[in-house]
Amino acid sequence: MSKSVRFRVTWLWWITGPVLAVLVTGLIVVAVRPVPYYTLSPGSVRSVEPLVTITAEGDGQELHEEAANEDLYFLTVTVRQPFGAEAIWALTDDRIDIVQRELVDGTQTREENRRFNRSLMTSAKDKAAKVALERAGFVVPVHATGAVAIDVGPDLPVAEVLMPGDTIVGADGSTVTSAEELRAVIGGHEPGDGITLTIEPLGSTQRREVTTTLVERPDDPDQAMLGITLESRPSYEFPIDVAIDSGEVGGPSAGLAFTLAILDRLTPGRLTGGERVAVTGTIELDGSVGRVGGVHQKTEAAISAGVKLMLVPPDEEVEAIEVADGRIQVRGVATLDEALSALEALGGDRVPSAAELSSNR
């Protein structure tokens, strides 16, 4: 009887053992290999003002500069490609989102995406300096020097010759200094026409010429388009030098935080009134605040840092309030002036008007 039982167990093992071994091996391989997804988790909460260095130019410009306070913060999201086991663990943490890699990198490689985000950070710092200096009563002349591709349709012919961050400085032999000038050249073509572009690649001043085909506009098939999102590349004449040490952080989402930090350094008083305030949102040259990604994770980071108030773009206010769940105050702001009003309501000092500040200089 016992020999019969051992015989059956032996044959059962020979049948199921290899299958179990393959399954276990497969699980181990999946657990230790990267998956084609990214995890978005709460990142750093960094004090902004100590990162700002302001230096007067040698033109006799009188400069009022306040000491750096440490209660105004910008927020980041940690983005990483997880191993299989990490991805499974992330599913159990409601602070972490898992997204397809293509939603973050698009058609670019990870290194290309890093370079592009670093260029967006540089642009955000320049915009923040211009907006803050003008609000502080300085004059900052600006002129356009090309049309920057912010986004490129991945399935269109232009994607074969252009990538996000490239700047178009010529089209069909004409100089292009702004997005509007490029649109005018495109407007003289029909769908299916070829167009020759002069490009300054991201991170390089070495120009090259490429040719691509224009396509139909989805809303008007008779009109031609390249299939890219454009903005003019500005060049600024700053009356004083403003440097911001953003480290390895990329992207434009700290623009509003940088603007407030520079303004606080250049004007009397204290914007936050001594309260801890976290800020996220882009800044545009007209002082408007734009949406950002990762508001869920940034709100969690702000809560962990013990801030009292978090300023966010208006169309992301609802999400931030839901995540905060009463643990911190959240305020949506559409402009720099709205952000200053929110800080004044918190107990911060009023910022005099640009005219007042200019006349007192």
pLDDT value, residue 94? 83
Residue 279 tokens read as: 């800020």
pLDDT above 60: residue 61: no
pLDDT above 80: residue 196: yes
In angstroms, the CA 210 to CA 289 distance is 35
In angstroms, the CA 299 to CA 45 distance is 10
- Residue 361 confidence class, pLDDT cut points 50, 70, 90: low
Looking at every residue in the chain, the average pLDDT score rounds to 86
- The tens digit of pLDDT for each residue in 257-310 reads 999 999 999 998 999 999 999 999 999 999 999 999 899 999 999 999 999 999
Q: Sort 232 into a burial class: Cβ within 10 Å, 0-12 / 13-18 / 19+.
A: buried
Residue 162 tokens read as: 């252009």
Does residue 69 sit in helix, strand or coil? coil
- Buried b / exposed e across 266-275, counting CB within 10 Å, b at 16+? bbeebbbbeb
Query: For 37-138+238-359, CATH number?
Result: 3.30.230.10
pLDDT average, residue stretch 224-236: 93
348: phi > 0 → left, psi -120 to 50 → alpha, else beta; which?
beta
- The tens digit of pLDDT for each residue in 87-139 reads 677 677 788 887 777 777 676 777 777 888 888 899 999 999 999 999 999 99
- Buried b / exposed e across 28-55, counting CB within 10 Å, b at 16+? eeeeeeebebbbbbbbebbbbbebbebe
- Residue 35 confidence class, pLDDT cut points 50, 70, 90: low
pLDDT above 80: residue 24: no
pLDDT above 70: residue 10: no
pLDDT average, residue stretch 30-38: 62
The highest-level CATH class for domain 142-234 is mainly beta
pLDDT above 80: residue 15: no
Domain residues of the chain, as ranges? 1-32, 37-138+238-359, 142-234
pLDDT average, residue stretch 168-186: 95
- Residue 63 confidence class, pLDDT cut points 50, 70, 90: low
